[in-house]
Structure 1
Amino acid sequence: MLPPLLWFIFIFLVVQRLLEIAVAKRNERWLKARGGIESGEEHYKWFIIVHTLFFFSILLEVMAKNEVVQNPGILLIVLFLLTQAFRVWCISSLGRFWNTKIIVAPNFPLIKAGPYKYIDHPNYIVVGIELFIIPVMFQAYLTSVIFPILHILLLFIRIPAEERALKDPTYIE
């Protein structure tokens, strides 16, 4: 059983992700209208599968325990809020160029603002942290181990594909 706070967080996260998909679709249309080229379509479906299963895994693990889940401590709440702030910073720094897909518009310069000024692919870092912290908040410890590992494995495909597309926008994988 989940306490109301965790139900609120869970519903917030699902709604957040659905809104992000809508933003990504809008940005995709905008980018493609300006010559944006999509790459990496073959592996994209695996991101959708993993991220969808992530939410089901949390619920299944909680239900399988058949115990009352305790509210997370203040440290986990603070870490969660920090990851959300970092996530928003990543997305807002890219603006209309942010997407869940690899879409490169050849007539625009590479954005090096916000966290992208300091590190490459900060959004992937924050997602990896989220895939650990969120399940821990729900005491879904198996999920907190499995999904960050799956995320890292996907990044071994995703980051090289993205780097190739950024170097040569006409490259289609």
Structure 2
Amino acid sequence: MNKQPIRHSEFYSFIIPDGNNIPIDFTNFKDKVVIIVNVASLCGYTPQYKELQYLYEKYHEQGLEILGFPCNQFGNQEPNDESHIVSFCQRHFGVSFPIMKKIYVNGEQEHELYSFLKSQKSGVLGFHGVRWNFEKFLIDKQGKVVRRFNSMITPLQFEEYIVTLLKS
């Protein structure tokens, strides 16, 4: 469980560096639908990058944003540094959405973004913590966390929710 207080009260208050250490200001995501996903290169769910990229290409012009947050907390499945991670994603899956700086999603060192996301939407059976790689949070155009999908739910399985939010 996170021991730090949540300092951010809204989704748009974050400024977080991407994998190239360029700050991404979340105010840029106002009026957009956003998927936040913790990612890993050596995971059985890594092929979900392909579906995420497909959705990004299909809906980005309509207002979909995707942010991938590398995390090495689950089975040491993301041991590389950000430059290797970004290169891997581009080379193997053609990823063009932002891959962010590596973070912790649970525990004493968990990033404030994940503290915020988890405080807004609990997981399966009310479980607070992120259970594994490729857990996805869906944020609406007002910055509200509206859905949380576990690793087994592939991005295409919740495409209908994305479309509904984009039309709203």
- The bucket for the TM-score relative to the shorter chain is under 0.3
Q: Give the greater-gyration-radius structure (CA).
A: 1
Q: Name which structure has the greater RCO, CA cutoff 8 Å, separation 6+.
A: 1
